[in-house]
Amino acid sequence: MIGPVGGDERPEGLLARLAPEAVPAGFPSPAQGYYTGPVDLNRHLMRDPTATFIVRVSGESMIGAGIFDGDELIVDRGLDAHEGDVVVAVVNTELTVKRLSYRSGRMVLSPENPAYPEIVLSEHDEATIWGVATRCLHRV
């Protein structure tokens, strides 16, 4: 499912408080417990809201990249895709999320799960990079 995040204006009410330091995943820090000012999540998560979409992931081909079934990707259609990027591609009219690479001059879309085959595009395939995934929203 693909849908726009917003128009030219930034929606109000997407502010969150930001802790001034990283939170340790090991032992707790006694210095924690205070916050800096609010963070605009639009600015924090999106480079260009007019070119940004949220895509819901279905399937398990990208679990090795930490992208799971039901996760939502923030996808920027205004970025140029580079080798190694996680991209949303349109291959023969079908959308897919894969890691981009090139081999012998051909585009290769690779899963991050060995149970799935990579897609090596031929001259007979129609393929375009729809956008570059910049963030993964994952429920904990």
CATH number at residue 121: 2.10.109.10
Split into its structural domains, the chain has a count of: 1
Domain, as residue range, for 115: 15-137
- What pLDDT is stored for residue 127 in this prediction? 94
Task: Give me the half-sphere count of Cα atoms (radius 13 Å) on the Cβ side of residue 125.
Answer: 16
> How many helices, marked H, and strands, marked E, lie in the chain?
1, 10
Q: Could you read off the pLDDT of 47-93 as tens digits, one per residue?
A: 888 899 999 999 999 999 999 999 999 999 999 999 999 999 999 99
Q: Is residue 67 part of a domain?
A: yes
pLDDT-derived band at 32, boundaries 50, 70, 90? low
User: 29, 61, 101, 122: which is the annotated catalytic residue?
Assistant: 61
Check whether 4 has a pLDDT greater than 50: no
Burial class (CB in 10 A: 0-12, 13-18, 19+), 110: buried
Q: How far is CA 100 from CA 4, 82, 111, 114, 128, in A?
A: 23, 7, 9, 16, 11
- Is 61 annotated in the active site? yes
Q: Is residue 4 part of a domain?
A: no
Q: Is residue 53 part of a domain?
A: yes
Q: Is residue 2 part of a domain?
A: no
**Local structure of 64: helix, strand or coil:** helix
Give the pTM. 0.76
Give the mean pLDDT of 13-19: 57
Q: Is residue 50 part of a domain?
A: yes
Report residue 10 as tokens. Answer: 């930034």
Q: Please count the other Cβ atoms lying within 10 Å of the Cβ belonging to residue 63.
A: 17
Q: Is residue 8 part of a domain?
A: no
Q: Which of 20-29, 57-66, 110-119 has the lowest mean pLDDT?
A: 20-29
The helix (run of H) or strand (run of E) holding residue 74 is strand 72-76
Higher-pLDDT residue of 39, 88: 88
Is residue 57 a contact partner of residue 75, using CB atoms and an 8 Å limit? no
- Is 98 annotated in the active site? yes
Higher-pLDDT residue of 56, 19: 56
- What pLDDT is stored for residue 86 in this prediction? 99
Give the mean pLDDT of 97-111: 97
Check whether 31 has a pLDDT greater than 60: no
Task: Give me the half-sphere count of Cα atoms (radius 13 Å) on the Cβ side of residue 135.
Answer: 13
User: 29, 58, 98, 122: which is the annotated catalytic residue?
Assistant: 98
